[in-house]
Chain A
Amino acid sequence: MSNAQIERQWTSRLRHRVVDKLPPERLLPDTQPAYVASWIYVFGVTTMAALGIVILTGIILALDGPQWWHSSSLGHFVNSMHLWSVEIFFFAMVVHLWGKFSMAAWRGGRSMTWVTGGVTFLASILAGFTGYVSQTNFDSQWISTQAKDGINSTGGGAFFNVLNLGQMLMWHIVLLPLAAVVLTGLHVIMVRVKGVVPPFDDNAEVSA
């Protein structure tokens, strides 16, 4: 097989495209623009760190089933860590969102980075909600019976039954975490490909 034939292979083409878009030094940079010098930048990585702990504590909770934590002090502690890592996750995510809004971080071809971030926020809200209604306690009973009215009013309740523990638990531990992780991965890759948005410069011009 000639080199030309090898270069035409799907695998070769994909590798070239990936390496062109995201060379190793951009994926794992060792320098960054000097303007990235504010505490606001901490909240993106904090969100990801909290997501990691949410998933880790969720995996531990999943090991012995959805009701283990009610009767085990260790289980209750892991549930508490799950809860508080979720609170930190959302706090950091919201600060990150408002920080990026204040920077108009969609500028310079970064609009899809903003969109994936927004969709990740939505998926996370749904993941948090399905967690609250999967606790198998009074909170899950009350929140689900209250929330059903809103979802039913949209017609969605016919397919997304918040009173069905099995359905909510599956969404909470499989579908929505998968969505959150994939979307976060896409979001981070976009950040690495495009870099961090530069400061406003009212006198700047771009080439068409």
Chain B
Amino acid sequence: MTKKAFRPDVDAPDYKGAYVPYDIIKEGAIAVLVVLILTAALAIVFSSPDEKAVTIKTWSNADAVDFAQTAGDELTGTSGVAGYGAPYNNGGESQHWGFLSPEKWIGVHIAINTTNDFVINPLSDQPAQPALTKALNQWKSASSTTQAAWGAAYSKVEANLTYTNGQVHIPTTAAGPIPVLLNYVTQMARSGALDQALIAQNGFYTTNYTKPLLFISDGTYFAGLATKQHLAGDQWGMMNETGQYPGQAWLWLYTFWYQISPYNTSASGDFLVWGTMMILTALLILLPFIPGLRSIPRRLKIYRIIWREHYATEA
């Protein structure tokens, strides 16, 4: 039998020392009991957060102007979702690092056309009303150039949009049917009908809330509520939850990257964060096979504290 050099970070010495009694079942039972008691105590003392979900109805009733402006952006194709890119549409530039852009390579898989999906189709399913029907027909029969011209005229005065006496007011006559459409979609939203219309696009049975969530996330109302609850991205929001709860504290490193440059300044920040975390995760999992990294614990010597009784006995 040949001998090979002992590799202290790979090989383990044969243990020829003493053994002591060990009741594995008793240990497990005690652990379950202790964790059960601790869990129940924490649940009784601290409970758990449960802030009500935001609906398009609550949003449009709380801030009709923000809703109408967002709906205007969805209609004219200038919202965040409209310019998002894959997997929703072809708007905007995909996130990338050099030539790497998996988002772009995979392309559109959850097709979202904000103009039709968020405004025109829901309004088209409403009971016929002369003014609404006329506005819809005007929009649908217009060329894309004309629609873009209406959109450009609307964008110029969007900041001056008001909501009074149950009506949306837009100070322009150059925006074609946009003011009428926004007025009706705001009324629809405030009644709760738009929530149902967006969900019902998936059929009778559905558990997919992609469209209403994307719509809500385009407005400033939703983000404002989150900021008040310390949930914004620059508030380490990814790992937090509402109230004073620990949240997903184990995501601290993932969230950390969003707080520093270049991750928080790059247009491809998400991709850079995920790329960094994938590399770090691979290093963690493959640690036993990586020379140098696998030597760290031996050099740190924290094991001397863990096994202090063993080393004391040896000495």
Q: Is B208 an interface residue (CB 8 A)?
A: yes
Contact residue among A80, A94, A156 (Cβ-Cβ distance under 8 Å from B48) = A80
Q: Is B250 an interface residue (CB 8 A)?
A: yes
Q: Are B246 and A87 in contact (CB under 8 A)?
A: yes
Q: Are A48 and B213 in contact (CB under 8 A)?
A: no
Interface footprint category on B = 35 or more
The verdict on A49 contacting B303 (CB below 8 Å), with A33-B15, A147-B238, A165-B208 known, is no
What are the residues of chain A within 8 A of B35 when measuring CB–CB? 46, 49-50, 53, 85, 88
Q: A48 contacts which chain B residues (CB < 8 A)?
A: 28, 31
A198 lies within 8 A of chain B by Cβ: yes
Contact of A149 among B43, B270, B284 (CB under 8 A): B270
- Verify B22–A32 contact, CB threshold 8 A: yes
* Contact indicator B3/A205 (Cβ below 8 Å): yes
- Nearest A-chain residue to B43, judged by Cβ: A80
Q: Is the pair A76, B50 in contact by a Cβ cutoff of 8 Å?
A: yes
User: In the complex the two chains form, is A164's CB within 8 Å of B207's CB?
Assistant: yes
Please give the distance in Å from A137's CB to the nearest CB on chain B.
5
Look across to chain B and name the residue whose beta carbon is closest to the beta carbon of A37.
B309
Contact A119 B43 (CB under 8 A): no
- A-contact bits for B3-16, CB 8 A (1 contact / 0 none): 11110111111110
B49 to chain A, nearest CB (A): 6
Task: Assess whether A80 is in contact with B46, with CB atoms less than 8 Å apart.
Answer: yes
**Contact: B210 with A164, CB < 8 Å?**
yes
**A138 interfacial by beta-carbon distance below 8 Å:** yes
Find out whether the CB atom of A34 lies under 8 angstroms from the CB atom of B307: no
How far does the Cβ of B284 sit from chain A's closest Cβ, in whole Å?
6
Complex contact A166–B15 (CB within 8 A)? no
Q: Which of B4, B31, B226, B229 has the most CB of A within 10 A?
A: B31
Contacts of B23 in A (CB 8 A): 30
CA distance A152 to B101 in the complex (A): 11
Known: A84-B48, A104-B294. 12 other contacts (CB 8 A): A31-B22, A35-B15, A45-B28, A46-B34, A80-B44, A84-B43, A128-B250, A132-B241, A145-B216, A155-B103, A200-B13, A206-B4
Task: Give 30 CB contacts A-B under 8 Å.
Answer: A29-B24, A31-B20, A32-B19, A32-B20, A48-B28, A49-B34, A53-B36, A76-B50, A84-B48, A87-B42, A88-B35, A90-B249, A106-B294, A107-B11, A108-B12, A111-B289, A115-B286, A129-B251, A138-B52, A141-B53, A150-B270, A150-B273, A153-B274, A154-B103, A157-B87, A164-B208, A199-B307, A201-B13, A202-B8, A206-B13
